[in-house]
Structure 1
């Protein structure tokens, strides 16, 4: 039985990685607003969702890297910074 081929006609071109956290966050917020508006065609909505997932992973990675670098001096010892919630 032959395998069904998957069409890649709806695949969006690869977009460049954001320059920094702020530009990624700004783009992500714009995508969320467009998706929530309900005015995007289905194909565009899927592409926006996929790009949003890439941007979200980028932002999370940047935040984790910064958190790993933040240290608090406590009684002469450097300790990893932990947020208080």
Structure 2
């Protein structure tokens, strides 16, 4: 398990660690206190993955198209 703060992780880092956390919990050979810590870390990692996916979806949604329907660039996320 990484010591890197969850809020600094990329989607890929958070997903990889989340998979490791789930794997450890599924094996059931982790002491209760450690299981609780792993579950809390897993919840934070899941939230980070969701956050990064939402950011990516917003960027894709802001993709602009030209008159022929081809992508021509992106708009800033805060452009109304």
Query: TM-score, with normalisation over the residues of structure 1?
Result: 0.65
Give 1:38's match in structure 2, choosing from 28, 44, 47.
Answer: 28
Match of residue 5 from structure 2: 16
Which consecutive segments of 4 or more residues in structure 1 shift more than 4 A?
A: 74-78
More helix by share: 2
Alignment size in residue pairs? 65
Residues 39-78 of structure 1 deviation map (CA, whole Å, 9 limit, x = unaligned):
0011110100000000000000000010011045385578
Whichever of the two has the greater Rg, that structure is 1
Residue 68 in structure 1 maps to residue 62 in structure 2? no
Deviation of the 1:19 alpha carbon: 2.6
Unpaired segments ≥5 residues, structure 2: 72-80
Match of residue 49 from structure 1: 39
Query: TM-score, with normalisation over the residues of structure 2?
Result: 0.69
| Aligned equivalents of 1:74, 1:48: Cα separation in 2 | 48
Deviation of the 1:16 alpha carbon: 1.3
3-state SS of paired residue (1:40): coil
